[in-house]
Amino acid sequence: VLKPSEKDPSAANWIAERYAEAGLPAGVLSVVHGDKEAVDAILEHPDIASVSFVGSTPIAKYIYETASAHGKRVQALGGAKNHMLVLPDADLDLAADSAVNAGFGSAGERCMAVSVVLAVDSIADTLVDKIAERMATLRTGDGLRGCDMGPLITAAHRDKVASYIGVARDDGATVVVDGAGVEVDGEPGGFWLGPTLLDAVPTSSAAYRDEIFGPVLSVVRVGAYDEAIEIINASPYGNGTAIFTRDGDAAREFAH
């Protein structure tokens, strides 16, 4: 049973239709649409043995508590703030390519999106320039028309994501690329927000602390490897981290 977000129902329907076309027997995959009432029915139904969820942390906690109280196995994944560390010996072109791909694919609305780049001071300026240069080539628009980045899920979410640009600026960060107000030809009124790059974001800023879940990439400058590790370990979020370096010792230490 697949229960998609009520804000994005069509993708699940499309997937189910493709399964049916491929010959999947009726009833093997069911798609259920709805709001909290539909969710509660799934969490409480006696014939459902396990539940898996990915979404915001408050909802993940609700899913876990409710489903487990009804005797179900539960996998509930909440908010994420994935960090990417770039050391001075790294291939900066590779790091910049990766930051752009990981930060702006799916308009940043995916749980494994990189939202924070930790850059050691000595290479931070160069890395920021390389990332900004690549961002200039990204096309925002209808994903079915060959664009690189589509709209955000709702107007309210677009506005929330865009608000962090001003928050970061007020907190002392530099807005290197501002995606607010981007216009797409032939698509007025869409939930558009262009790729955005923030530099020198303080870790005290809500732009760093919150899960933004959109096309906003924050660069946090650090003095050295150890400082970066302290920042990563202090984050309350998952889901993943990455390191760019040619130093095998640093890579092994990072992994373990």
Adjacent-strand bridge partners of 119: 86, 221
CA dihedral 163, 166, 168, 169 (to 10 degrees): 170
Which residues contact residue 37 at a Cβ distance below 8 angstroms, ignoring those fewer than 6 apart? none
| Size of the chain in residues | 256
Determine which one of 16, 48, 54, 111 is catalytic.
Answer: 111
Where do we find the tokens 């960090």? 83
Asked if 147 is an active-site residue, the reply is no
- The span from the CA of 113 to the CA of 101, in Å, is 9
Which residues contact residue 210 at a Cβ distance below 8 angstroms, ignoring those fewer than 6 apart? 164
Mapping DSSP onto H, E and C, the string for 78-95 reads CCECEEEEECCCCCHHHH
Which residues contact residue 93 at a Cβ distance below 8 angstroms, ignoring those fewer than 6 apart? 130
Catalogue the active-site residues: 111
